[in-house]
């Protein structure tokens, strides 16, 4: 029974890690850019959901109606007005720009929201369900559902819509997509907008699950990077599987050695299969 409890806890935790990494893997797969500011955008989404829920007195999940479109527009604006211009000079300057954005965002959040810990509490946060001798937190089930629905919607968008096919074509061959009439710059902007929209969802999950600070982005960036590497750069299904694997490894390691076990798994993956489980 203890083993079953560990597996369930690992899967529930892995759902959060999957949605945490899906925006990063999407940008890498399409724009060919490692967004070093991804962790800070996740924390920005957490602040947005937490402060809106407290100000309006609503469930934090309902704040996604506001935070997701806002983060989408921020992503499109950054890609159009800044990153697209820098990418003309190569991938290295664009990487440095995202690093600069991470520093600016962290300092800005520290200035605006102070260094105090924040948490997006909900009425069901402490509710525990007992099923056959196994304890499952209702909040964890809700967060897993949110993560799976987000990844499902993103997958359907990429596979079923014209813009999704344009994004996939640009990811496969930028020059060929451009010759077929696809605006590569516009596609990059939409991809960045979607990545930041998923970061808003990940921020909600983190704000509901744990306390966070303005400086917490770096730790979540490392987790997202580990999930992306294990799953395969640019693979959304791989990110889901890797998130579950990463979560299971952390739960098996326990409170003291969970992250250590997860990062050892990452090192082993880099040594054995550096392209990831589901590489493109």
97 or 274, which is more confident?
A: 97
The pLDDT, as a whole number, for residue 279 is 65
pLDDT (tens digit per residue) in 232-254: 877 888 899 999 999 999 998 88
The reply to whether 261 falls in a domain is yes
The rounded distance, in Å, linking the Cα atoms of 198 and 45 is 9
Q: How many domains does the chain have?
A: 1
The pLDDT, as a whole number, for residue 235 is 83
* Least confident span in 93-102, 164-173, 206-215: 164-173
Tell me the range of 61-75, 76-90, 110-124, 255-269 where mean pLDDT is highest: 61-75
The reply to whether 112 falls in a domain is yes
- Asked if residue 1 has pLDDT above 80, the reply is no
The pLDDT, as a whole number, for residue 274 is 80
Burial of 6 (0-12, 13-18, 19+ CB in 10 A): middle
The pLDDT, as a whole number, for residue 103 is 95
The rounded distance, in Å, linking the Cα atoms of 117 and 96 is 29
- Asked if residue 118 has pLDDT above 80, the reply is yes
Give me the CATH number covering residue 19: 1.10.3470
Please tell me the number of Cα atoms within 13 Å of 54 on its side-chain side. 12
The reply to whether 96 falls in a domain is yes
pTM (2 d.p.): 0.94
Instruction: Tell me if residue 126 falls in helix, strand or coil.
Output: coil
Beta-carbon neighbour count of residue 181 at 10 Å?
A: 7
138-160 vs 236-272: helix crossing angle, rounded to 10? 100
Q: Give the confidence band of 41 by pLDDT, cuts at 50, 70, 90.
A: very high
The pLDDT, as a whole number, for residue 126 is 86
The reply to whether 185 falls in a domain is yes
Range of the domain at 19: 2-272
| Mean pLDDT rounded to a whole number for the chain | 90
pLDDT (tens digit per residue) in 66-102: 999 999 999 999 999 999 888 877 778 889 999 999 9
The reply to whether 278 falls in a domain is no
The reply to whether 215 falls in a domain is yes
The rounded distance, in Å, linking the Cα atoms of 213 and 232 is 29
The pLDDT, as a whole number, for residue 275 is 80
Q: Give the confidence band of 141 by pLDDT, cuts at 50, 70, 90.
A: very high
Tell me the range of 7-11, 87-91, 101-105 where mean pLDDT is highest: 101-105
Q: Is the dihedral of CA 42, 46, 52, 58 positive or negative?
A: positive
The pLDDT, as a whole number, for residue 269 is 83
- Asked if residue 280 has pLDDT above 60, the reply is no
Residue with tokens 């999957």: 18
* Least confident span in 24-28, 110-114, 202-206: 24-28
Share of the chain above pLDDT 90, in %: 57
The pLDDT, as a whole number, for residue 66 is 97
Share of the chain above pLDDT 70, in %: 99
- Asked if residue 2 has pLDDT above 80, the reply is no
The reply to whether 280 falls in a domain is no
Please tell me the number of Cα atoms within 13 Å of 72 on its side-chain side. 11
């Amino acid at each position: 029974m203890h083993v079953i409890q560990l597996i369930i806890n690992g899967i529930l935790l892995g759902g959060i890690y999957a949605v945490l990494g899906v925006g990063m893997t999407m940008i890498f797969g399409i724009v060919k850019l490692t967004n070093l500011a991804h962790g800070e955008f996740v924390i920005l989404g957490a602040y947005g959901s937490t402060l809106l829920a407290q100000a309006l007195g609503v469930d934090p999940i309902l704040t996604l109606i506001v935070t997701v479109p806002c983060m989408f527009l921020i992503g499109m604006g950054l890609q159009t007005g800044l990153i697209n211009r820098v990418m003309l000079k190569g991938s290295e300057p664009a990487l440095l720009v995202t690093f600069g954005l991470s520093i600016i965002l962290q300092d800005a959040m520290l200035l605006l929201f102070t260094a105090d810990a924040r948490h997006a509490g909900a009425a069901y946060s402490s509710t525990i369900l007992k099923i056959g001798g196994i304890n499952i937190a209702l909040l964890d089930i809700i967060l897993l559902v949110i993560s799976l629905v987000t990844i499902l919607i993103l997958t359907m968008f990429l596979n079923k819509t014209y813009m999704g096919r344009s994004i996939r074509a640009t990811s496969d061959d930028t020059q060929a997509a451009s010759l077929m009439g696809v605006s590569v710059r516009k596609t990059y902007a939409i991809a960045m907008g979607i990545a930041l929209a998923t970061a808003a969802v990940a921020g909600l999950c983190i704000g509901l699950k744990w306390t966070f600070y303005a400086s917490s982005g770096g730790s979540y960036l490392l987790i997202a990077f580990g999930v992306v590497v294990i799953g395969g750069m640019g693979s959304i299904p791989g990110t889901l599987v890797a998130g579950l694997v990463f979560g299971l490894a952390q739960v098996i390691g326990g409170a003291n050695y969970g992250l250590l076990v997860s990062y050892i798994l990452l090192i082993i993956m880099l040594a054995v299969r550096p392209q990831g489980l589901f590489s493109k």
